[in-house]
């Protein structure tokens, strides 16, 4: 337990996965910005199973300045889960989520605070320009956000990431949501409240490399779509109707051609193509069901979202209270 624990006004939460080159600079920039504005803050660093010296550096930062607080996961649980843990442990009246790699400039936090003090409960940062990203990333990201807005009920503002400020009210609601496949930027819009955006230029990564290879990006995109939309599941029905309609036309056409003595549909190629086509569609539909089924399976297992090996600098009751919601208590007959 930490006797000197002081509840901050503002919690800055940064997920960290192998960012040893960045941490001291992150701390320096956050401290410089917020101290300069006279804010009372804490920096919650979540070590998402880094294999480099990140945790050691975090511990040193914590030792030098107790406003730096550290959550150390038992292994890598993923970016979205790390953000969740940070928001669980953060005690501020407002919580800011920021990438550790300084692509989200800490100076923007001041603009967010200003909006928050005006009465907004969620202030997200909109990228008006992104530096140092590949065209592939820019293109896929822009496509993805337009797609998800089209097919889901949540209106995720275009070109926003996880960089955002959330009022305590929003954080408390989010803490109740314990979905395993979480798409935080969607959830924080889904909860509602008074929302607004501030514009910023997304900088290049300060050092190191992206921790989001294509494989993880695809998973992330799928999580986003499946958590807010059933449309992919319904696609099988639509395609079924379309293909059934086409085949009825095909049948009629064949009969007419046959009756008029044409040889157009002799041979096996056309049969084979049709069968393979339907086979492909069926496998794709099964795969889509599989995506949902796997996610349902993961949700019903109700495993904790993350496992904390140690937490540095938090009040004891914070640690206990912030434990992930436990599964439903066993029913009486299960115990008997």
| Residues within the interface to ligand UDP (CB under 6 A) | 15-17, 19, 48, 76, 78-79, 82, 99-101, 103, 210-212
Q: Is 88 in the site for Mg ion (CB under 5 A)?
A: no
d(CA 310, CA 55): 11
Bridge partners of 122?
166, 195
Among positions 42, 48, 101, 167, the unique one binding Mg ion when judged by CB under 5 A: 101
Q: Is 162 in the site for Mg ion (CB under 5 A)?
A: no
d(CA 109, CA 326): 33
Closest approach, Cβ 276 to Mg ion, in A, equals 42
76 binds, among Mg ion, ligand UDP, none (CB under 5 to 8 A by kind): ligand UDP
15 binds, among ligand UDP, Mg ion, none (CB under 5 to 8 A by kind): ligand UDP
Element (H, E) at 160: strand 160-167
Element (H, E) at 62: helix 54-64
Among positions 72, 103, 152, 227, the unique one binding Mg ion when judged by CB under 5 A: 103
Closest approach, Cβ 101 to Mg ion, in A, equals 4
Closest approach, Cβ 29 to ligand UDP, in A, equals 14
Closest approach, Cβ 14 to Mg ion, in A, equals 11
Site stretch for Mg ion (CB under 5 A), options 51-59, 103-111, 136-144, 293-301 = 103-111
Contact 61, 19 (CB under 8 A): no
Those residues whose C-beta lies under 8 Å from the C-beta of residue 165, and which sit 6 or more positions away, are 94, 95, 96, 109, 112, 113, 115, 116, 122, 123, 124
d(CA 6, CA 41): 10
Q: 109-132: b or e for each residue (b if 16 or more CB lie within 10 Å)?
A: beebbebbeeebbbbbbbbeebee
167 binds, among ligand UDP, Mg ion, none (CB under 5 to 8 A by kind): none
Residues 303-332 that bind Mg ion (CB under 5 A): none
Closest approach, Cβ 97 to Mg ion, in A, equals 13
Contact 35, 60 (CB under 8 A): no
Closest approach, Cβ 264 to ligand UDP, in A, equals 53
C-alpha 1, offset from chain centre: 31
Q: Is 91 in the site for Mg ion (CB under 5 A)?
A: no
Please report, as ranges, the residues that interact with Mg ion according to CB under 5 A.
99, 101, 103
């Amino acid at each position: 337990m930490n006797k000197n624990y002081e509840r901050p006004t503002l919690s800055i939460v940064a997920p960290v996965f192998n960012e040893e080159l960045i941490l001291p600079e992150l701390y320096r920039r956050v401290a410089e910005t917020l101290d300069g504005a006279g804010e009372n803050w804490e920096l919650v660093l979540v070590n998402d199973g880094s294999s480099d010296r990140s945790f050691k550096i975090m511990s040193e930062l914590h030792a030098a300045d107790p406003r730096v607080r550290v959550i150390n996961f038992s292994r890598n649980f993923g970016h979205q889960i790390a953000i969740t843990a940070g928001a669980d442990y953060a005690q501020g009246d407002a919580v800011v989520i920021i990438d550790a790699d300084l692509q989200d400039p800490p100076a923007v936090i001041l603009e967010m605070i200003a909006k928050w003090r005006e009465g907004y409960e969620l202030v997200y940062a909109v990228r008006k320009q992104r530096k140092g990203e590949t065209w592939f990333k820019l293109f896929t990201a822009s496509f993805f956000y337009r797609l998800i807005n089209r097919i889901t009920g949540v209106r995720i503002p275009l070109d926003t990431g996880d960089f955002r400020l959330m009022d305590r009210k929003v954080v408390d609601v989010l803490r109740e949501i314990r979905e395993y496949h979480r798409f935080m930027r969607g959830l924080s819009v889904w909860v509602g409240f008074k929302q607004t955006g501030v514009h910023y230029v997304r900088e290049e990564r300060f050092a190191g490399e992206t921790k989001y290879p294509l494989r993880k990006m695809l998973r992330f995109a799928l999580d986003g779509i499946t958590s807010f939309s059933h449309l992919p599941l319904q696609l099988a029905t639509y395609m079924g109707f379309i293909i059934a309609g086409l085949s009825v036309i095909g049948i009629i056409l064949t009969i007419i051609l046959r009756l008029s003595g044409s040889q157009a549909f002799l041979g096996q190629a056309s049969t084979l193509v049709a069968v393979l086509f339907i086979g492909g569609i069926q496998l794709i539909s099964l795969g889509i069901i599989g995506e949902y089924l796997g996610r349902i399976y993961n949700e019903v297992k109700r495993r904790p979202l993350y496992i904390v090996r140690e937490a540095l600098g938090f009040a004891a009751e914070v640690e206990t209270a912030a434990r992930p919601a436990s599964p439903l208590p066993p029913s009486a007959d299960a115990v008997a």
